Structure 1
Amino acid sequence: MVSIRTAAPALLLILAGCVTGPDHKPPEMPLPAKFSEGGTKINGDIAGSQWWTAFGDSRLNAFASQGLSQNLNIQQSLERINQAEAAVVTAGAGGLPSLTVSGDNTTSGQKGSLRTQTGTRNVTGGSASVSWLLDLWGQYRRAREGANASLDAAYSSVDVARLTYLQDLAKSYVNARYYQALVSIAQENLKSRRDTLSLTKFQLEAGAASRLDVVQAEGLVNSTLSTIPGYEISYRQAVHHIATLLNVPSATVIAQMQGGGKQPVFRGSVRSGVPADLIRNRPDIRVAERNLAAATAQIGVAEAKLFPSISLSGAISPSYIHNTGSASGSLTSWSFGPTLNLPIFDGGSLRAGVKNAESSSREQYIVWKQTVTTAVEQVENALSAVSRDAQTVAALHAQVKSYQEALQLSTASYKDGASSLLDVLDAQRNVTSAQQSLAQAVQQSALDYISLNIAIGAGYVPASKANVGQVPAAAPAKVIKASVKKAS
């Protein structure tokens, strides 16, 4: 027959291995074997891909590197790692023993003709109390598991912040150069239209033109002048936003951007990989998966509250009493014993907590699926645009060249008196419109290239001990396996 002294520790060891709630399993969902306009070649680790260098713009390269260490949103996300690290300790602390020690000293006496105590009384005492809630059902182990998953999500959130910064910076830079190009186009066309105005005034004096021709030429000059301030305002706003992203005064960026610069142009191709690559390379998908793991762990925390809990507690309180002129001595009291809590009737709140945790876990699974499907859509949209942008830019280059030739011919014909001023003004409008359309197409091509690289999860610097400071790196999140369904 097994004695209670032998059976009790064995029972505790068995119960210590009990963990309520389901274990987290990496989610799965069917994905096509390739993007609709992509290839079948798998992408490797593209986290360190500095895709913005393909523009060949040294100023953009410097901004991108500078902001990765100075951007305030990134710095906020790094601080959240510290918070998540502390939450891991807090989550597991409830399952560990706690010890509290205190001490005190009191001196007392009496004065007056009615005093009953003839001397001074000194009482010195202390106490030490210990308590330990036995984690029989794994409540705190699940809580720590969930906190570790949230810590993983915090690390991936840093990567999300870096991707967001790179996208915002690169697009703002492209927009700034675009508005600079529009200002340059307007100023170039303004010079041409002023030359036309001067020619028209000369012909008016020679009797070969009317006052109406002069007024029309003046109107086109003033129309061009009116567009320049709007372009400059938009340029300034883009530069101010770049300064905010870099966490530097706007005057610094304005000085660096002065003198103009060519619009960023990407020439080449982007390897988009396959949809399954997104699960590994997109940090927002990893965040969603880790949030799902944390929500799943909370089911175990909620279920553990349905079962009885046992806590062990004890205390010891030594004291020493010294009386001047009378007896002195010491006294030590102690106590120890277990406490059993049985949740018998709670109005259904504990079971409602379990249902709430289960629903939250299912919601996070749906969020994960939506994040994956949205990522696939973003890649396919950007891939479709990038593959066609070059055709648009090439056609507009040819259009600008044709309209410029038409302007030269119409101007020469107007000088010879073979055509009217309206032909020249129409040709000038066509040139301006074509040049603006070309600048916009070059801008859109660059924006689509940026969107594609962000969509495939390229270019962020993984959060690690090297770039987080004193925060130790969390264990890497589990690789999520997705079932791949071949596209028809």
Structure 2
Amino acid sequence: MRLVHSTFTLTASAAFVVAACSFGPSGDPPAMPSPAHYGAGPQPARTATAGGVAQQFDIGAEPVPQWWRLYRSEALDALVEEGLRSSPTLAATEKSLAAAHEQLRAQIGSSLLPTIDAAGQATRERYLGIPAAGPNTVTYDVFVGQIEAHYTFDLFGAVRYANAALGARIDQQAFQLEAARRALAANIVGAVINAATLNRQIAITERLVALANETANEDERRYTLGAAAHAQALASRQNAYAIAATLAGLRQQRATAVHALAVLIGRTPDAAPAVPDLASLALPEHLPVVIPSELLRTRPDIRAAEALVKETAAEVGAATAQLFPSLSLTASMGQAGFNWPAAVSGAGAIWSLGAGLSQPIFHGGALRAQRRAAIDSYDAAASEYKATVLSAFENVADTLAALEHNADALASLDAAARTARTASYEAAARRRVGALPPSAVRSSEQAYLSAQLDTVRARGVQFANTAALFQAMGGMPAQKNP
């Protein structure tokens, strides 16, 4: 007992000497600049009015967790909720996170608390006897039953740092799961917008193909009657074929988008869902723009990078603590004997108590190399954190600029489409009174439909950019669907 007490006293004294020293970095992420605005110039208060809507940027507003509901489409809400509930990728990530939590509980329980085990043994042994001093062989039985305890004192924080590193790693996985959940929602919304936009483009292009075929048929009849040149008839038919080719390409794009949507929500491509019409989606008018300093708190990818910094900082502390002594206590008590009655009697009581002190002296430089590697990993994590923050700022700045400039373009395209529509209506009216030939009416309608195609593409981009901004703002964890 005196040996154990002396050993503990010496080691505890050494621990107090280094207690004031930090074995690793604090784990706080490196300081980052807080710009006044994201882009090269100040952020405007709102976009240009396009389609009767001017989107307003709410500077300093909190991000919206379930932002897809702002499109006011029950069909879209149902698809996103199905994806969050049924995605096998999310399910696998959630189970991996649950397993990591259990591993942390196991590591804490085994490293910070004593271990107590029960052991029993019954053996029959045969040994050679001593020549001329007894029988040639000795055969006997041994019965042992005991309880064993072991505890290692975490004097220099090696265990504490290791547990902190594992805890930070689990935090990182949790933030990555939230980032994956939000990315899945954004991908589903993007796939729906893409498919809905393509559906509208296909409908317009089908009408363009019909008009082009009517023009080609008329020119071929006129050529047969000698009223038009053969070159004109061939050019009209070539134009009809060219427009039909674009229709086939649009249908292929739609098939790809619908198949991707099915997989995103956890279905097979043959069970792809119906896509809501583009006109049924409402464009969100208020867009939250988190201030740059708060973006560090709301973006899951930044929080994951911050958790990596904490993890590597704790690993530096653990590697440093490995250079210092380790103290372990062991104890056991039980019963033993050469036969069962003796083993369970008072004379068979056995016990042991011991202490072990270990101080690394020479490991071929391995321990110090591990510490240097941990420091390098920490420096790398700090640099990755900076890169993640800068990339997040860039992502937000690009998305805001895209919304602003796309609204400007859409406003012009809307104006052009309205003008083309007026011209088409006037041409149809003049045709009804016999003032224009059918070909002129078709040409006017084709111009209007072409303008509509440009508007539909730009509107789809506007819807997609809006979803991208909501995604870029991050946000608190969304409610998990049951």
Q: Is the pair's TM-score, using the shorter chain for normalization, greater than 0.5? A: yes
SS in 1 for 2:363: coil
Structure 1 residues 14-413: aligned runs within 5 Å: 15=15, 18=19, 20-36=23-39, 37-38=42-43, 43=60, 45-48=62-65, 50-92=66-108, 93-106=110-123, 123-204=142-223, 207-254=226-273, 256-257=274-275, 261-262=278-279, 264=281, 266=283, 268-316=285-333, 318-322=335-339, 331-403=348-420
Fraction of identical pairs, as percent: 23
1:79, CA displacement in angstroms? 1.6
SS in 2 for 1:340: strand
Distance of aligned partners of 1:409 and 1:217 in 2 relative to their CA distance in 1, 3 Å threshold: farther
Kept after mapping to 1: 8 A contact 2:61/2:289: no
Q: Distance in 2 between matches of 1:189 and 1:408?
A: 16
1:184, CA displacement in angstroms? 0.7
Q: Distance in 1 between matches of 2:101 and 2:471?
A: 28
1:378, CA displacement in angstroms? 0.9
Q: Distance in 2 between matches of 1:10 and 1:354?
A: 25
Distance of aligned partners of 1:427 and 1:223 in 2 relative to their CA distance in 1, 3 Å threshold: farther
SS in 1 for 2:196: helix
- Unaligned 5+ segments in structure 1 are 110-115, 470-488
Q: Distance in 1 between matches of 2:58 and 2:424?
A: 49
Q: Deviations over 1:201-257 (max 9, x none)?
A: 454455433443333322222222222222111111111111111112334434x23
Kept after mapping to 2: 8 A contact 1:47/1:461: no
1:304, CA displacement in angstroms? 0.6
TM-score (norm 1): 0.80
1:383, CA displacement in angstroms? 0.8
Q: Distance in 1 between matches of 2:229 and 2:59?
A: 69
Kept after mapping to 2: 8 A contact 1:42/1:277: no
Which letter does structure 2 place at the counterpart of 1:179?
Answer: L
1:418, CA displacement in angstroms? 8.6
- Unaligned 5+ segments in structure 2 are 46-56, 127-134
Q: Deviations over 1:405-440 (max 9, x none)?
A: 666788979x9899997x889767655543332222
* Range with bigger deviation, 453-462 or 62-71: 453-462
Kept after mapping to 2: 8 A contact 1:159/1:283: yes
Which letter does structure 2 place at the counterpart of 1:222?
Answer: Y
SS in 2 for 1:94: helix
Distance of aligned partners of 1:323 and 1:198 in 2 relative to their CA distance in 1, 3 Å threshold: closer
Which letter does structure 2 place at the counterpart of 1:385?
Answer: A
Distance of aligned partners of 1:213 and 1:44 in 2 relative to their CA distance in 1, 3 Å threshold: closer
1:371, CA displacement in angstroms? 1.1
Distance of aligned partners of 1:210 and 1:11 in 2 relative to their CA distance in 1, 3 Å threshold: closer
Q: Deviations over 1:273-306 (max 9, x none)?
A: 3101201111111111111111111111000111
SS in 2 for 1:25: coil
Distance of aligned partners of 1:70 and 1:232 in 2 relative to their CA distance in 1, 3 Å threshold: same
SS in 2 for 1:174: helix
Which letter does structure 2 place at the counterpart of 1:127?
Answer: Q
Which letter does structure 1 place at the counterpart of 2:358?
Answer: N
C-alpha RMSD of the superposition: 3.8
Q: Distance in 2 between matches of 1:34 and 1:210?
A: 62
Q: Distance in 1 between matches of 2:324 and 2:411?
A: 71
Q: Distance in 1 between matches of 2:418 and 2:481?
A: 52
Q: Distance in 2 between matches of 1:227 and 1:409?
A: 29
Kept after mapping to 2: 8 A contact 1:91/1:143: no
Q: Deviations over 1:347-392 (max 9, x none)?
A: 2111111111111111111111111111111111111111232221
Match of 1:476 in 2: none
SS in 2 for 1:30: coil
Q: Distance in 2 between matches of 1:388 and 1:364?
A: 36
Distance of aligned partners of 1:379 and 1:323 in 2 relative to their CA distance in 1, 3 Å threshold: closer
Kept after mapping to 2: 8 A contact 1:163/1:459: no
* Range with bigger deviation, 347-356 or 314-323: 314-323
SS in 2 for 1:270: strand
SS in 1 for 2:361: coil
1:261, CA displacement in angstroms? 4.6
Distance of aligned partners of 1:429 and 1:57 in 2 relative to their CA distance in 1, 3 Å threshold: same
Q: Distance in 1 between matches of 2:125 and 2:340?
A: 10
Q: Distance in 1 between matches of 2:299 and 2:118?
A: 50
